Amino acid sequence: MRIDLHTHSSVSDGTESPAELLASAREAGLDVVALTDHDTTGGWAAAEAARPSGLTVVPGMEMSCRWFPDDEPPISVHLLAYLFDPLHPAFAAERARLRDERLERAERIVRALAADGHPVDWDELVTHAAGGVVGRPHIAGALVRGGVVGSVEEAFGTLLHHRSSYYVAKADTDVRQGIELVRAAGGVPVFAHGRATKRGRVVGDDAIAVMADAGLLGLEVDHPDHDDGERAHLRRLAGELDLIATGSSDYHGTNKATPIGACTTDPAQYERLVAAGTGTSPLRD
């Protein structure tokens, strides 16, 4: 069994449609793949319609959250959510708020870039973000197409870096509230790439323990942005806190170099995750 529990389609900031992504999963020899677009379930129906037989699809999402330390600015936390009820009203409303927040924040970044002579065609950018979830990868693409930078990677290394003066933080959900919403909707909350230091500041083990008390059920251990030491640390922590340990590629199509299936989840851990999810079921034969 090869199981990849974290992928993005063009409904958020990946480059393949849900149908293309499932075909890629099949080609890569996966048996189970989770679709986890940022802050939306917009790809679920297309994934269900296009699912090739023999491939199990886990409906999911990656929720934009924040941890609030006592004496530091908030830290970005990505919360994977699986098998929740997409119609749970409070959770659906919070997802909609996050998408609105993304749009406003992208407009602010684009305006500041344009004011300094780095033009971005906003209408064209929105056309490329056809899935409705706007993120820095869409701004990066627009900067490349406008000839401002040579590549998406260069855009993230310069103008769009989290330490760039153009960076604008989003008003993401307090992760404790995020965990509560996912659980209230019958879902399984898993802390994504918790030690990915190249993305910015990361939370400490004390914060992860607080999240576990709040209802967190898993930690993403094997992830392309974690080195061996970080994986060993998270695996031990998952054991100590009795959390499900997952592994996944965080596939984004050609927006990132990582192939689908680059990291995978142990079948026994996957079974725990499926047993904990009551809001919806995996799509399978």
Query: Given the rule CB under 5 A, which residues bind Zn ion?
Result: 62, 250
| Residue 185, Cβ density class (10 Å: 0-12 exposed, 13-18 middle, ≥19 buried) | buried
Shortest separation between residue 196's beta carbon and Zn ion, angstroms? 10
Nearer CB in complex with Zn ion: 39/250: 250
Token digits for 28?
């890569």
Name which of Fe ion, Zn ion, ligand AMP, none residue 152 binds, using a CB cut-off of 5 to 8 Å depending on partner kind. ligand AMP
Binders of ligand AMP among residues 142 to 201 (CB under 6 A) are 152-153, 156
CB 166 within 8 A of CB 111: no
78 binds Fe ion (CB under 5 A): yes
Which does residue 122 touch among Zn ion, ligand AMP, Fe ion, none (CB within 5 to 8 A, set by kind)?
A: none
Nearer to Fe ion, 108 or 199 (CB): 199
Q: Which of 51, 136, 195, 226 binds ligand AMP (CB under 6 A)?
A: 136
Residue nearest to Fe ion (CB): 78
Which of 183, 195, 226, 256 binds ligand AMP (CB under 6 A)? It is 256
Is 220 a residue that touches Fe ion (CB under 5 A)? Answer: no
Is residue 23 within 8 A of residue 261, CB to CB? The reply is no
Q: Using CB under 6 A, which of the segments 48-56, 186-194, 239-247, 248-256 binds ligand AMP?
A: 248-256
Q: Are β-strands 56-67 and 75-82 bridged in parallel, bridged antiparallel, or unpaired?
A: antiparallel
255 contributes a contact to ligand AMP by CB under 6 A: yes
Q: Which of 11, 29, 15 is nearest to 262 (CA)?
A: 29
Footprint on residues 141-200 left by Fe ion (CB under 5 A): 192
Nearest to ligand AMP of 109, 207 (CB atom): 109
Query: Residue 13 interacts with ligand AMP (CB under 6 A)?
Result: yes
Q: Which two tokens stand for residue 149?
A: 């930078």
Distance CA 122, CA 141 (A): 11
> Can you tell me which residue has the tokens 């973000």?
129
Taking CA 270 as the corner, what is the angle to CA 41 and CA 135, rounded to the nearest 5 degrees?
A: 30
Residue 222 or 250: the one with the smaller Cβ distance to Zn ion is 250
Q: Which is nearer to ligand AMP, 110 or 276 (CB)?
A: 110
Please identify, using beta-carbon distances, which residue of 230 and 250 lies nearer to Zn ion.
250
In this structure, the strands spanning 3-4 and 32-35 are parallel
Extended beta strands in the chain, E state = 3-4, 32-35, 56-67, 75-82, 173-174, 188-191, 218-222, 244-247
CA 201, 203, 204: angle at the middle one, nearest 5? 125
Q: Does 226 bind ligand AMP (CB under 6 A)?
A: no
In the bound complex, what is the minimum distance in angstroms from residue 144's beta carbon to ligand AMP?
11
Distance CA 45, CA 49 (A): 6
Binding site for ligand AMP (CB under 6 A): 13, 135-137, 152-153, 156, 252, 255-256
